Amino acid sequence: GIARPITTTCVYKQSNNGLTKIKNNELFGKNISTITELVNSKLKSEFMSLKKEAPNCYKEFYPVGINELSIYVDENFMYFEMTWNDSYISDYNSECFNPSTIARINLSEISSLIVYAK
């Protein structure tokens, strides 16, 4: 078979006890519902576009939980990636290579939605 890379991302917080791995939902605190709705809306839009191009690879959209996503950040954007089917990893005959969708959200858009704890 063909070796295919698998990308993973982890976020850690620094404390007196050293680095601790945190879950995606801990990144957004009480704003988790708002962020999850925004991400799912953008994922669905992208999913529908990709489904038109490759209907065999993108079967059905369903809303996802924030902990199901890989999250990446650059200078201006946060990227939320959902892989819908990972059988391509073990099936080298698969016509679908990494059928995933990415919601790209400007950091300023996210910060405008954040409600800070008082």
Q: Give this prediction's pTM.
A: 0.76
Tokens representing 38? 């925004």
Strands (E), 1-118: 11-15, 18-22, 70-73, 77-83, 100-106
End-to-end CA distance of the chain: 54
Q: From CA 17, how far away is CA 116, in angstroms rounded? A: 26
Which tens digit of pLDDT belongs to each residue from 14-72?
A: 888 888 888 888 888 888 899 999 999 999 999 999 999 988 888 899 999 998 998 88
